[in-house]
């Protein structure tokens, strides 16, 4: 099999991206496969769960993969125990468990040194110069293939120049079917069409495929999503063919960097008083009476930045288990936490939960500027320039919190508070000013659509 045939197998299996890494002698089933400091791997290769664990070597995070080995007949052999391990103190990522429970995996090509010593010379020659290929499918699977070092595939790979994807990985372009376009081109094509529509009536797309009027502050995002064919939802998956699309308000379409806020994450707390009690109890304890004088209503809002007291709630956000000076995780059970003046935990988000949400949605993001008018009806206009942000990881996220670039800005409310059944609305949101998205991504480019 040659490289073109291998790429065709990945395409037939549904892969939209293919990455490759030359394997060293130490990259085997016993020592794990070393991904170096490629923390971004947790965002590139989709995980089903992320677990935190403190070990003798320090804090680590294990990301379970939906993984399988690509066979030469096009079938896939599931490897149910494959996982990525982030050793955050270095930091480095390793790939492990990829043969456990998989009888058809490349066990000889991934054999450890002791076992390899017993191999015949012909097999030993296959171990030097091996290439690991990892493909990612549209339905969030990761597929692997190991090419022997003396194979035609390895020779072709070494003879060509492939662009660097992240750290030790190269991106191997996949063949595109006739009439098919890549996701970036398709996204920009749609945004060009939307820009040329001018002012668009505010709307949202229902799960039934029907457009519905929208008359709320967040309708700028819903209207853009509706034009892109994305139903209103709270799905943790990226919006458009692997791209997370974020709309934000601007005063001038030529000035895309401003202090205007963009909501990036909306995970609910998994710890503290909030997680252990009802929303009603939380707002009554830590919230405040509505400042616009609306009767029988309480709110919980305000910008909460790390180590800064929020005057509206009296709470301070803390990064527990993270060394802000050294920029390292010191405890895998760490968390983002809102703490009262008495030291009570009002709400908290475990690092594992934040990492999972970030890895699910934010490998690639597109930030689209918009303007709004409400007369004669609510309408939105989307700009002719957008910002494309790529290559991020969980440690960048924590650093952004530590520096104040990212902050917690909830919109939680309780109406008819004295009624037998008060009406509550949950809205835990983490936000960033548009000028600060560079703190979260390796590359941010401005593109005219």
What per-residue confidence (pLDDT) applies to 115? Answer: 81
Rounded Cα distance, 12 and 135, in Å:
11
Rounded Cα distance, 222 and 232, in Å:
7
Rounded Cα distance, 174 and 165, in Å:
14
Half-sphere exposure of 165 (CA within 13 A, CB side): 25
Half-sphere exposure of 365 (CA within 13 A, CB side): 27
What per-residue confidence (pLDDT) applies to 239? Answer: 79
Rounded Cα distance, 226 and 210, in Å:
9
Distance from chain centroid for Cα 258: 23
**Domains delineated in the chain:** 3-171 (2.40.330), 183-448 (3.30.70.3570)
Q: What angle do CA 79, 82, 86 make, to 5 degrees?
A: 170
What per-residue confidence (pLDDT) applies to 147? Answer: 97
pLDDT digits (tens, 9 = 90+) for 397-408: 999 999 999 999
Rounded Cα distance, 321 and 351, in Å:
9
Cis peptide before 208 (omega within 30 of 0): no
Rounded Cα distance, 408 and 306, in Å:
9
What per-residue confidence (pLDDT) applies to 425? Answer: 94
What per-residue confidence (pLDDT) applies to 158? Answer: 96
pLDDT digits (tens, 9 = 90+) for 298-332: 999 999 999 999 999 999 999 999 999 999 999 99
What per-residue confidence (pLDDT) applies to 236? Answer: 60
List of residues 6+ apart from 424 with CB closer than 8 A = 278, 279, 280, 283, 412, 413, 414, 415
Rounded Cα distance, 309 and 226, in Å:
38
- Sort 429 into a burial class: Cβ within 10 Å, 0-12 / 13-18 / 19+: middle
What per-residue confidence (pLDDT) applies to 235? Answer: 60
Rounded Cα distance, 198 and 189, in Å:
15
- Sort 210 into a burial class: Cβ within 10 Å, 0-12 / 13-18 / 19+: exposed
Per-residue pLDDT tens, the chain, 449 aa: give them: 999 999 999 999 999 999 999 999 899 988 899 999 889 999 999 999 999 999 888 899 999 999 999 999 999 999 999 999 999 988 999 999 999 999 999 999 998 877 877 888 888 888 999 999 999 998 899 999 999 999 999 999 999 999 999 889 999 999 876 556 788 999 999 999 999 999 999 999 998 889 999 998 889 999 999 999 988 765 666 678 889 999 999 999 999 988 889 999 999 999 999 999 999 999 999 999 999 999 999 999 999 999 999 999 999 999 999 999 999 999 999 999 999 999 999 999 999 999 999 998 888 999 999 999 999 999 999 999 999 999 999 999 999 999 999 999 999 999 999 999 999 999 999 999 999 999 999 999 999 99
């Amino acid at each position: 099999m040659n490289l073109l045939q291998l790429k065709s197998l990945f395409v037939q299996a549904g892969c939209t991206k293919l990455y490759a890494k030359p394997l060293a002698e130490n990259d085997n089933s016993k020592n794990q496969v070393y991904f170096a400091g490629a923390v971004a791997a947790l965002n590139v290769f989709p995980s089903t769960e992320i677990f935190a664990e403190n070990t003798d070597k320090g804090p680590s995070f294990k990301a379970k993969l939906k993984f399988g080995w690509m066979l030469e007949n096009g079938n896939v052999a599931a490897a149910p125990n494959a996982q990525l391990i982030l050793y955050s103190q270095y930091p480095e990522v390793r790939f492990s468990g990829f043969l456990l429970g998989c009888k058809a995996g490349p066990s000889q090509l991934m054999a450890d040194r002791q076992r390899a010593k017993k191999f015949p010379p012909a097999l030993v020659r296959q171990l030097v110069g091996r290439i690991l290929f990892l493909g990612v499918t549209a339905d969030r699977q990761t597929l692997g293939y190991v090419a022997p070092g003396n194979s035609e595939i390895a020779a072709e790979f070494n003879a060509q120049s492939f662009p660097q994807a992240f750290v030790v990985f190269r991106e191997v372009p996949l063949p595109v079917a006739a009439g098919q376009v890549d996701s970036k081109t398709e996204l920009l094509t749609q945004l060009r069409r939307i820009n040329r529509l001018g002012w668009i009536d505010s709307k949202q797309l229902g799960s039934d495929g029907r457009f519905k009027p929208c008359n709320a502050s967040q309708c700028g995002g819903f209207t853009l999503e509706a034009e892109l064919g994305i139903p209103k939802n709270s799905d943790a998956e990226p919006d458009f063919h692997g791209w997370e699309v974020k709309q934000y308000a601007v005063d001038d379409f030529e000035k895309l960097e401003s202090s205007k806020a963009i909501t990036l994450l909306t995970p609910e707390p998994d710890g503290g008083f909030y997680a252990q009690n009802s929303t009603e109890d939380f707002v009554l304890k830590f919230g405040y009476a509505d400042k616009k004088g609306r009767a029988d209503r309480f709110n919980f809002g305000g910008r909460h930045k790390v180590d800064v007291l929020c005057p509206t709630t009296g709470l301070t956000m803390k990064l527990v288990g993270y060394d802000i000076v050294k920029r390292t995780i010191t405890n895998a059970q760490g968390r983002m936490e809102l703490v009262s003046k008495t030291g009570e935990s009002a709400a908290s988000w475990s690092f594992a939960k934040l990492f999972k949400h970030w890895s699910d949605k934010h490998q690639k993001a597109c930030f689209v500027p918009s303007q709004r008018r409400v007369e004669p009806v609510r309408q939105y206009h989307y700009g002719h320039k957008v910002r494309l942000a790529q290559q991020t990881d969980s440690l960048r996220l924590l650093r952004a919190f530590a520096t104040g670039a990212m902050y917690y800005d909830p919109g939680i409310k309780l109406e008819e508070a004295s009624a037998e059944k008060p009406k509550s609305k949950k809205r835990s949101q983490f936000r960033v000013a548009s000028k600060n998205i560079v703190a979260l991504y390796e590359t941010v480019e401005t593109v005219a659509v």
